[in-house]
Structure 1
């Protein structure tokens, strides 16, 4: 798994071909890659919000209570895992439009590897600074988008022109999933399940 992560950052086109050529099952890939990497942003945010806190201007750092942060960490971890599954299911469903016939396992693997930069960017939540998180997050989204557009034609065995359309569709659905996750968080907050602040 680690060699694939490094390969996606150093030579993504070759690494997508290597990943495509491997025997894949949902169990090992999902458990090892997604479960571990999805924990990076969740655990980092827990540590950052309870131990470091964030400052606005010259005000003392604002922190979350440990109980509140733990609850939000668990919910965000579940949301990250669900997001990968939803994206894998959409890729599997959409592949038929482009005369590609990958298994659901293949699509889940592709979604998991494509999301790797977003998972790794979660490390910056250890130090919750607005500008740091915005800069690293923007770079992670840009590289995830690059991996998506680079990998779809290779992984699905389709021409690059069709790969561009396929990737654009996936990107649009990813944005919808993100907005749905944010709306769900707002609904939970409305029911009183939200952050509890310390000063």
Structure 2
């Protein structure tokens, strides 16, 4: 089962990456059985916390979104995650030849590498149930660092490249990931101007 890899990547990453390479899960199956499920954790937790629990900044009053607004923002976030993971996987495949990977033989490996490397970020979504900005930032920073290390660790195994090439390859992919992140932030601002911005509850 694909979800078993989520635990294996924390317990024994090298063995798990080797299993993932041998598995050759088709991208559609990988998305439906893994990414669609785990990517929903953060948006669902964010919806619950921002519409029902609320948060405070300093000694200010409790802040909450309306349920409709929280739902809209959660759905948009979910879609952005799905697009971001796919774009990262596409970048893995696109850069494969440059770094000597044998990816042309197994096109699904790029999507698999991107999807499984994002596992810590998917699971960090549970932290959003406690809507404290600083707590969430710390948890997601730790998750992002571990995800970056997973990608670096998995590149030589999944893509079949020398370890000395993995550092430059992973650096290029992290740059792509940052571009994707910035693009989603810009997209959020644009959507807010079209009426999809947060709406706060009164009182």
Normalised by the size of structure 2, how large is the TM-score?
Answer: 0.95
Aligned-residue offset at 1:24? 1.6
Conserved? CA contact 2:64–2:200, under 8 Å? yes
Conserved? CA contact 1:89–1:104, under 8 Å? no
Structure 1 counterpart of 2:175, from 172, 179, 189: 172
Aligned-residue offset at 1:60? 2.4
Whole-angstrom CA distance in 2 between matches of 1:166 and 1:50:
41
Aligned-residue offset at 1:59? 2.1
Normalised by the size of structure 1, how large is the TM-score?
Answer: 0.96
Whole-angstrom CA distance in 2 between matches of 1:157 and 1:104:
13
Conserved? CA contact 1:41–1:125, under 8 Å? yes
Whole-angstrom CA distance in 2 between matches of 1:16 and 1:42:
27
Structure 1 position 105 matched with structure 2 position 99: no
- Aligned-pair RMSD on alpha carbons? 1.1
Q: Runs of 4+ in structure 1 displaced over 6 angstroms?
A: none
Whole-angstrom CA distance in 1 between matches of 2:34 and 2:196:
29
Q: Which residue does 2:49 correspond to in 1? A: 48
Whole-angstrom CA distance in 2 between matches of 1:104 and 1:175:
23
Conserved? CA contact 1:88–1:104, under 8 Å? no
Alignment deviations for residues 60-113 of structure 1 (CA, whole Å, 9 cap, x no partner): 210000111111111111100000110011111000112223233221111110
Structure 1 counterpart of 2:150, from 138, 142, 147: 147
Structure 1 counterpart of 2:138, from 135, 140, 144: 135
Structure 1 position 116 matched with structure 2 position 122: no
Whole-angstrom CA distance in 2 between matches of 1:6 and 1:71:
31
Aligned-residue offset at 1:188? 1.1
The size of the alignment, in residue pairs, is 199
Matched position secondary structure for 1:163: helix
Whole-angstrom CA distance in 1 between matches of 2:108 and 2:76:
24
Alignment deviations for residues 105-163 of structure 1 (CA, whole Å, 9 cap, x no partner): 22111111000100110111111101210111111011001101101111111111101
* Structure 2 unmatched ranges of 5 or more: none
Whole-angstrom CA distance in 2 between matches of 1:55 and 1:7:
37
* Structure 1 unmatched ranges of 5 or more: none
Conserved? CA contact 1:53–1:62, under 8 Å? yes
